[in-house]
Structure formats: structure tokens, C-alpha cells
Amino acid sequence: MGDTATHRGGFGTHGGESGAFIERAFRERIVLVGVTLDAADSSRTHADLDELAQLIDTAGADEVGRLVQRRRAPDPATYIGKGKVGAVLEVCEQVDADTVVFDDELSPAQQFNLEKMLGRTAIDRTVVILDIFAQNASSQEGQAQVELAQLRYRLPRLRRGGGFSQQAGGIGTRGPGETQLEVDRRRIQRRIHKLEAQLRAIAKNRSVQSRSRRRSAQPTAAIVGYTNAGKSRLLNRLTDSGVLVQNRLFATLDTATRRLELPGGERVLLTDTVGFIQKLPHQLVEAFRSTLDVVAEADLLLHVVDAAGPDADAHIAAVRKVLREIGAGAVPEMLVFNKCDLLDGAGLPLSADKGAVSVSAVTGEGFDKLLAAMADELRAHAETVELLVPYARGEVLAAVRRAGHVLATQNDEAGYRVQARLDAASASRLSEWVVG
Ligand SMILES: Nc1nc2c(ncn2[C@@H]2O[C@H](COP(=O)(O)OP(=O)(O)OP(=O)(O)O)[C@@H](O)[C@H]2O)c(=O)[nH]1
Ligand SMILES: [Mg+2]
């Protein structure tokens, strides 16, 4: 068996109270383990493990070995087969690994069994992603969202006397007949409720703001896409802003909204959002749901793809899966292949369909096309409506002008009769004045 005494992994307290799961006093040595399901292609598993290695590097640790097993289904008790656990242990001892990271979320039982058999911390992709989010969260809302996701992950994994439940403040805080485990559970639950209330208050505040923004009747577009695709850099270049850009996964956790003027003079509000990834932990999707409302409510999605990176098709599919999860599956989407300055004529990936545009957020190449396509898209989703606006309500007429294109105005007995092209949201906002 592994020598637990010399294992230096920082996961023993599993985040403790600080929220960080990964030791940062030194770079942990990590062995990666993945499973290829029966019918699947093993090159897929290796691509996933390459990505996991990148996640681990971002979190501040190093890959020192990897193992892959082909199976019909993950073993319910140990994820990989029991024999394979022995092989993993051997590798761990050879390379002096601190921690083993599995590419899929482990159940509490799997995690427990694996740690016992391996004599070192066993964690999963979810923990690594949660850890990076925790490192990168800077706003109050972002920090609350990440902590909430972490606690929801930890709650079912607390255990008596085990590594995970070793927390400060045991004796004295316990009620009559309560075990330490119950005390811990209760404390985490209380914290979860507090965070939920805090996030609800922030979301409510934001929805008041966004309602007033919507009253100003500007169409909205959200920039979505895989992490590190260049979303923030694109927003910056398009709108001349200074959102943080980093060659690092999950640099952006907070949304940022900027105004953008299209060639026809229409204004659109453009929002940068958190990046997605394959196997994005559902705890994070849940915790970020209120922030991601801007995506579901947008008139148009700019789905940014790193055209120069590996696996564009898999990334597009992963992003669309998350979009469906957050209720944005039906929002019109435009594919924007970014980083085309790195392509040197290699051409676009297979999925580049007719509506796609290719750009470079570094050189500004392709921006004319992008802006024209955005204007077209927004107009395509508009409908022609007729409105009757009383003469006394000049401000409504002004709102119609801001919201869309006024095609014709006549002076009727009852007021202005206006033909206008409006998107669905504006039409429903102005429905009081719509006739016919
Ligand atoms: N060569 C090149 N690099 C780019 C381009 N756009 C972005 N980058 C680089 O790609 C990296 C990621 O850019 P970001 O804008 O932070 O990416 P993001 O999609 O916002 O990433 P997250 O917020 O982490 O999800 C940075 O190093 C950028 O400088 C581009 O068009 N060409
Ligand atoms: Mg970003």
C-alpha cells in the first residue's frame, strides 16, 4: 500500500475553510486517470486528459503520469476496475505522486474507496475546475457563486473522522447527542442558505437594472464560447474596453456589458460571459444560473470558437450542451471563428457553416463582416408591426424609433400610425400600442 505518511497532497482537508482544494505551497505531482467507454474512441479520452492536464497546470500542479482504461461502464465502487487501481498505485509510487485526479466526477463512495486503496488524495475534474474558479473569483457575486458550488459538492462527501470532515472548531460547538458529522453538515447547510439568499438579492438587483435597460429598448447580444476562445479580447476590441484578458482558463467569471454601434447605426448591448468547458460541473452551472440569464434573454448569441485550437467541433458541441442547460438553446446563434490570424490559410474547421464569420480579435480582421452579419441577424429576427400612438405620447414614438426601424409614419385622427420593424422583445414591450 502507499505510504500515507509521506504523501504531501494538499487535499487532505479538502479545502478546509479557505475554499481552495489544491495545495499551493508547492506544485503537487499528479497522476491523471481516464476511462474510455466501450464504443468510444480512445483518442477522445486522451484529448480529454490533455485538457485535464491544462486544467491542473492552471490550478498550479503538474501531471507526472497518466493511465487510461477501456470499460463497458465505470465501476460503481472504484470508477476504474479494482485491478487497475493496483496499477495506478504502482505508477503513483514510481513517480512519487501526491494526488490522483480522475477525469469524471467520482461518487462519494468511489472517492472514499479510491483514497483508501491508493493511500493518497483522489479527486476529480470537478474539484479541479471548482478550484480554478475559486482562484479567479474576484467580485462578491463570483466568490459567493463559487463557494456555493464548492459547498454543494462537499456536503454529500462529508464523512466521520475522514479526511474531508476534519474541520476546525469541533468540541464545544456540538449540541446534545449530535455527532461531529451532524454538526459539520448543519454548518454547511446554514452557509449554503446564507449564500443562496445573498445571491438572490444580487440577482434581484440586477434584474431591476436589466429591466430598465430593456426599457431603453436596445437589442442585446451575448458573447459565449469555450474557455480561452478569446471572448473578452473580442469584446475589448469591438467596444474599446479593458476587460481582463489572459491566456488562462476561466479568466472571466463576471459578466461585463458594453454598448456597440452597428454599421446601420443600430445600437446593441454586448455582454461578455464566463467560458464553458466539457464536463462543466453542474454545481457551477446551477450557481452561475442567475448570471447566465443574460444569455438566455439575449436577442443573439455570438458563439466564439478558437479556430486555431484543437477540437473545435467538440468545443462547439460542449458549449451548445451548456446553452441548452441554461435555457438558451433557442436563442439565435452566430458562430464566430476567432484567432484566424493564427491560421495561415489552413481554412476553417468542418463545422464552419454558411452563417459563420471568421475574425481576429488581435488584428481586427473580419470585423466589418461580423458587424454587418450581426445587424442582419438582429434584423432578420425582427417583424413588421403597426402601432397607433396618441399625439400626446411623443415619448412612445421616440421609444419605437430607438427600438427598431420606423418604415413609415402617418398622422391619423387618433394619433401617429407607425409602421416599424421591431424584434419580438420590443414588440411585446410596446404591445399596448400595436394594432392589427
Ligand atoms: N492570436 C490571437 N490570440 C487571441 C485572439 N483572441 C484572443 N487571443 C488570446 O487568447 C487568450 C484568451 O483570450 P481571452 O479573451 O481571455 O479568452 P476568453 O474566451 O475570454 O477566456 P475565458 O474568460 O477564460 O473563458 C489570450 O491570451 C488572448 O490574447 C486572436 O484573435 N488571435
Ligand atoms: Mg474572458
Q: Whose CA is nearest to atom 16 of ligand 1?
A: 245
pTM over 0.85? The answer is no
Nearest to 100 by CA among 47, 28, 150: 28
> In 3-state terms, what secondary structure has residue 359?
coil
Q: For ligand 1, pick from 132, 246, 280 the residue to mutate: most ligand atoms within 8 Å of CB.
A: 246
Helices (H), 240-292: 282-287
In the three-class reduction of DSSP (H, G, I as helix; E, B as strand; rest coil), residue 298 is classed as coil
Helix (H, G, I), strand (E, B), or coil: what is residue 207? helix
> How far is Cα 10 from Cα 64, in angstroms, rounded to an integer?
16
Of 268, 271, 220, the closest CA to residue 243 belongs to 271
How many whole angstroms separate alpha carbon 315 and alpha carbon 317? 5
Average pLDDT over residues 293-302: 92
- What would the pLDDT profile of 344-361 be if each residue is shown by its tens digit? 765 555 555 667 999 999
Of the pLDDT bands very low, low, confident and very high (cuts 50, 70, 90), residue 416 is: very high
pLDDT at 112: 92
Distance of CA 431 to the CA centre of its chain: 35
- Residue 264 Cα to ligand 1 midpoint, Å, equals 28
Supply the residue whose CA is at minimum distance from atom 26 of ligand 1.
247
In what order do the strands lie in the sheet containing 121-124?
A: 62-71, 29-37, 99-102, 121-124
pLDDT band with cut points at 50, 70 and 90 for residue 324: very high
- Beta strand residue intervals within 4-109, DSSP E: 29-37, 62-71, 99-102
The alpha helices in 266-423, defined as continuous H runs, are 282-287, 293-296, 312-325, 367-380, 394-403
Q: Name residues with Cβ closer than 5 Å to ligand 2, which is an ion.
A: 231-232, 251-252
Helical axes 125-136 vs 42-59, angle rounded to 10°: 30
Residue the block writes with cell 474558479: 133
User: Is 56 near ligand 1, meaning CB less than 6 Å away?
Assistant: no
64-98 confidence digits (pLDDT tens):
999 999 999 999 999 999 999 999 999 999 999 99
Under DSSP, the state recorded for 90 is H
Triad 432, 222, 398: Cα angle to 5°: 30
Beta bridge partners of 65: 31
Answer whether 315 contacts ligand 1 (Cβ < 6 A).
Answer: no
293 DSSP 8-state letter: H
Say what the pLDDT of residue 118 is: 95
Q: How far, in Å, from the CA of 423 to the mean position of ligand 2?
A: 28
Task: Say what the pLDDT of residue 301 is.
Answer: 96
pLDDT digits (tens, 9 = 90+) for 216-265: 557 889 999 999 999 999 999 999 988 999 999 999 999 999 999 998 78
Measured by CA distance, the residue closest to atom 1 of ligand 1 is: 339
Q: What are phi and psi of 65, to 5 degrees?
A: 180, 160
What is the rounded CA–CA span in Å between residue 188 and residue 191? 5
| Predicted confidence (pLDDT) at residue 178 exceeds the cutoff of 80 | no
Share of the chain above pLDDT 90, in %: 63
